[in-house]
Amino acid sequence: MTTKSKKSATKKTSKRSSKTSRVADFGRKTVRDEVVLSVKDLKTQFSTKWGTVKAVDGISFDLKKGETLGIVGESGSGKSVTSLSLMRLVPSPPGEIVSGEVNLNGRDLLKLSEKDMTEVRGGEISLILQDPMTALNPCFSIEDQVGEGIRIHQGVKGKSLFDKVVDALKSVRIPAADQRAKDYPHQLSGGMRQRVVGAIGISSNPSVIIADEPTTSLDVTIQGAYLRLLKQIQEETGVGIIFITHDFGIVAKMCDRVAVMYAGRIVESADVRTIFNNPLHEYTKALIESVPKLEQKTGRLTQIEGQPPALWDLPEGDSFAPRSTLKFSEKDAKIRPELVEVSKNHFVQLSKSSVKDFKKYAHLVDY
Amino acid sequence: MAAKTEKKTNSKSIVPNELGCTTSTKDSIVQVRNLRKHYEVNKALSFFGKDIIGKTDLLKAVDNVSFDVPKGKTFGLVGESGCGKTTTGKLILQLENPTAGEIYFQGEDVALMSKAGLVEYRKSVQAVFQDPWASLNPRMRVRDIVGEPLQIATTMTKEQIAKRVGDLLEEVGLNEYQSNFYPHEFSGGQRQRIGIARALALNPKLIILDEPVSALDVSIRAQIMNLLVDLQNEHDLAYVLIAHNLATVRYMCHRTAVMYLGVIQEMGDTETVFNNPQHIYTNALMSAALPSHPDIDRDELVLPGEVVSPINPPSGDVFQTRTPLKVDAKHEYANNRPPLVQVGKKDHWVVETPWSIATKEMKVNLAGI
């Protein structure tokens, strides 16, 4: 944003009466140069009757303090399994984290004992789930459910526990928090329920929050309020957020950096403006272009032909090749592409079959 | 049959004119006039029609809604959950009986139709639902799902039906051999295609699309939206699109109505409405919608309070409890429903009260710069 437009924005706000509240503080810089979570070559597989499903096939990324990373992809691209793997919640069997490292504040989570992991889960790293209707237990009051994590991780009881619960509810802007704490989930609206799930997530001051499509079931205005809330919490606490979503609108609004996943691998990752202004992989391009725009009348949408591949029967080499619209020989598609840094912090899975400007970067790879 | 209907239409083409309804009877497929649907909740214990204990509350899901659905065009209904858009769709489909008001199908009042006329009406008006996992019977094969309307409403033989099902599947982008499969063998996008094939089976004139893409993956949404647009052009279909995603509405719809608490707040040509939204509520919805580029940083217009329950809404303007402006309690429209008012000379209508029109500062700047 230029300084000029910033000025006009502040002017606008001051003109407004106190009752009309406009919020223009999105995109404030919160990223700090300190890596909290570093994932290296993570592989998660499931053994099924069709064969081994490589749900996550060697992905690596870093998350800095106060940064929001968006992991984008279709259903079945492995983004949710990634989040479960980070929490070590992959059901085993049939699932298994085959290899890799998940370093959280310098500790490899994959090497921890189950007992230590229980302390990390919901403590240092927490998960906000998609559906607030099912993420909350209808049989327990809000106080019990928010308090559970606080009790386990901070060992407080009685009156001070209740105070902490009320604080957590206040931090997600739930009005009359001390009364709401006694309520049961069915007494709250959808937006309020999602806030309670958020309160559980942040109650133990985690360093990383994984938000798995937290707003898909919410209305536009409630979604806006919830995303704003997450940003505010991030500003206050400097928590790193991993946003798992298929919606590029949320990415545009929330994320600092984006990783696009396809068939269990990251095909492109860069900061959010590079992804929107200069996408290199055909899949990223198509994903961005397939969304109608609110800002102007959109012409016919670009559609990605076909379906995402079955993960137990992946095409050899470049898994996006069968859906790519570029011209390439069968031999090119058979080469398994590598993720290469094409410019600073811009990584692309380089292949002739799905990168149009392959020639420009051909010197970076030896195939 | 067709000739007979035509005759009837001519004899009673007296669809009353309503504000905001600009399409003539000749050019519209369905015209909705003063439609209301009220549900009784928390019923009182009554004796001989007198309430003895408690009082009956009225949930006004749809409250005095009028609009025209033009032939071969898409009419969009937008709003938050609970604004009555799905109920409106159900009323048009005759899945619910209106409390008051009329639905005219090509000039003929649906409530006064003969049995045969209603059969024709149901053939001409079909639906595609939101959740492709819940709207297909898991115990039926695709050929039975798509063929069922043909078995019921036509006299086609088994072979003819099988042929037609094959053609329909091809038309929506599936293969004929897939007609022997069960729904669980398909992905979400393919299931939605099956739902569309079923809706197309009887050559309808109008399809009610109730959030047809919101349960699908983003990349699949484009496929389904393009398919719907193609089918519309090919068969001259009219759609009523019920959606909460404004970008989808702008892409698909020719005319749009914004609903709040069962009442249309703003209506008109889609581009006119989106380029110059008048109502505060429309501006608030647009400002909260997700941007299509990270550089777009829209100021969000936040309305005070939460969505009000449609149980016993205010007798005057329904928006008065959410407006950021001051409401004059003695004003006529604080106690009586305000009518739609035309904006300029365009096809653009809005509920105009002293507190419902967005001031200059509230106007959403979609580009956000």
Q: Which chain A residues are Cβ-neighbours of B188 within 8 angstroms?
A: 75
Residue A5 has pLDDT above 70, yes or no: no
Mean pLDDT of chain A: 83
Average pLDDT over residues B121-141: 91
Residue B4 has pLDDT above 50, yes or no: no
Average pLDDT over residues A316-341: 84
Q: Does B45 touch chain A (CB under 8 A)?
A: no
Confidence label for B369 from pLDDT (cuts 50, 70 and 90): low
Q: Does B328 touch chain A (CB under 8 A)?
A: no
Lowest mean pLDDT segment, chosen from A163-167, B23-27, B270-274? B23-27
Give residue B268's pLDDT: 93
Query: B256 to chain A nearest CA, in Å?
Result: 14
Residue B6 has pLDDT above 60, yes or no: no
If 0-12 CB within 10 Å is exposed, 13-18 middle and 19+ buried, where does residue B224 land?
buried
Average pLDDT over residues B321-329: 87
Point out the residue among A246, A292, A296 whose CB comes nearest to the CB of B248: A292
Nearest to B361 by CA among B301, B319, B289: B301
Which one of A19, A20, A267 makes the best mutation probe of the B interface by having the most chain B beta carbons within 10 Å?
A20
Cα dist from B181 to A312, B144, B174, whole Å: 21, 10, 12
Question: Which amino acid is it at A364?
Answer: L
Nearest CA in chain B to A323: B219
Q: Which chain A residues are Cβ-neighbours of B220 within 8 angstroms?
A: 74
Give residue A194's pLDDT: 84
Give residue A3's pLDDT: 42
Q: Does B360 touch chain A (CB under 8 A)?
A: no
Pairwise CB contact (< 8 Å): B292 & A291: yes
Confidence label for A26 from pLDDT (cuts 50, 70 and 90): very low
Q: Does B222 touch chain A (CB under 8 A)?
A: yes
Nearest CA in chain B to A288: B292
Query: A272 to chain B nearest CA, in Å?
Result: 7
Average pLDDT over residues A323-344: 84
* Residues B192 and B212: beta-carbon distance below 8 Å: yes
Point out the residue among A219, A290, A296 whose CB comes nearest to the CB of B218: A290
With a pLDDT cut of 90, the percent of chain B lying above it is: 47
* Non-local CB neighbours of B297 within 8 Å, separated by 6+ positions: A1, A24, A26, A27, B291, B368, B369
Q: Does A117 touch chain B (CB under 8 A)?
A: no
Does the N-terminal peptide bond of residue A93 adopt cis geometry, omega within 30 degrees of 0? yes
Nearest to A71 by CA among A245, A248, A212, A239: A245
DSSP assignment, residue A187?
G
Pairwise CB contact (< 8 Å): B244 & A220: yes
Confidence label for B204 from pLDDT (cuts 50, 70 and 90): very high
Question: How many residues are present in chain A?
Answer: 367
**pLDDT tens digits, one per residue of B31-72:** 999 999 998 887 777 777 777 777 778 888 999 999 999 999
Give residue A256's pLDDT: 92
Q: How many CB pairs under 8 A join A and B?
A: 159
Point out the residue among A224, A273, A294 whose CB comes nearest to the CB of B366: A294
CB atoms within 10 A of CB A315: 16
Cα dist from B248 to B50, B71, B73, B82, B211, whole Å: 48, 20, 15, 19, 10
Lowest mean pLDDT segment, chosen from A231-245, A266-280, B4-18, B232-246? B4-18
**ipTM of the complex, rounded to two decimals:** 0.80
Question: Which amino acid is it at A235?
Answer: E
Average pLDDT over residues A279-306: 87
Pairwise CB contact (< 8 Å): B301 & A22: yes
Query: B292 to chain A nearest CA, in Å?
Result: 5
Pairwise CB contact (< 8 Å): B299 & A248: no
Give residue B8's pLDDT: 44
Q: Which chain B residues are Cβ-neighbours of A15 within 8 angstroms?
A: 361
Which one of B187, B245, B270, B292 makes the best mutation probe of the A interface by having the most chain A beta carbons within 10 Å?
B292
Give residue B334's pLDDT: 86
Mean pLDDT of chain B: 87
Nearest CA in chain A to B248: A292
* Non-local CB neighbours of B358 within 8 Å, separated by 6+ positions: B277, B278, B279, B280, B282, B283, B364
Question: How many residues are present in chain B?
Answer: 369
Q: Long-range contacts for A12-20 (Cβ within 8 Å, ≥24 apart)?
A: A12/B299, A12/B361, A13/B299, A15/B361, A16/B361, A17/B324, A19/B304, A19/B324, A19/B325, A20/B301, A20/B302, A20/B324, A20/B361, A20/B362
Residue B10 has pLDDT above 70, yes or no: no
Q: Which chain A residues are Cβ-neighbours of B248 within 8 angstroms?
A: 292
Give residue A12's pLDDT: 40
Residue B3 has pLDDT above 50, yes or no: no
Q: Which chain B residues are Cβ-neighbours of A16 within 8 angstroms?
A: 361
Give residue A357's pLDDT: 82
* Non-local CB neighbours of A159 within 8 Å, separated by 6+ positions: none
Lowest mean pLDDT segment, chosen from A154-163, B140-149, B227-236, B244-253? A154-163
Cα dist from A183 to A67, A144, A169, A188, A227, whole Å: 34, 10, 12, 8, 24
Pairwise CB contact (< 8 Å): A253 & B291: yes
Pairwise CB contact (< 8 Å): A12 & B220: no
Residue B247 has pLDDT above 60, yes or no: yes
Instruction: Give me the residues of A, 309-328, that contact B with CB < 8 A.
Output: none
Q: Does B229 touch chain A (CB under 8 A)?
A: yes
Give residue A29's pLDDT: 56
Q: Does B219 touch chain A (CB under 8 A)?
A: yes
Q: Does B156 touch chain A (CB under 8 A)?
A: no
Phi then psi dihedrals of residue B154, to 5 deg: -125, 175
Alpha carbons B260 and A280: distance in angstroms, whole number = 42
Q: Does A7 touch chain B (CB under 8 A)?
A: no
Q: Which chain A residues are Cβ-neighbours of B226 within 8 angstroms?
A: 300-301, 303
Give residue B12's pLDDT: 52
Pairwise CB contact (< 8 Å): A300 & B285: no
Point out the residue among A13, A246, A252 whose CB comes nearest to the CB of B294: A252
Residue A14 has pLDDT above 70, yes or no: no
Nearest to B305 by CA among A170, A20, A185, A194: A20
Pairwise CB contact (< 8 Å): B306 & A246: no
Residue A38 CA, distance from chain mean position: 15
Give residue B41's pLDDT: 80
Residue A9 has pLDDT above 70, yes or no: no
Average pLDDT over residues B90-115: 91
Residue A280 has pLDDT above 80, yes or no: yes
* Non-local CB neighbours of A158 within 8 Å, separated by 6+ positions: none
**pLDDT tens digits, one per residue of A155-173:** 888 889 999 899 888 888 7
Helix, strand and coil in chain A, % to nearest 5: 35, 25, 40
3-state secondary structure of A107: strand
CB atoms within 10 A of CB A356: 14
Lookup: tokens for A200: 């559980």
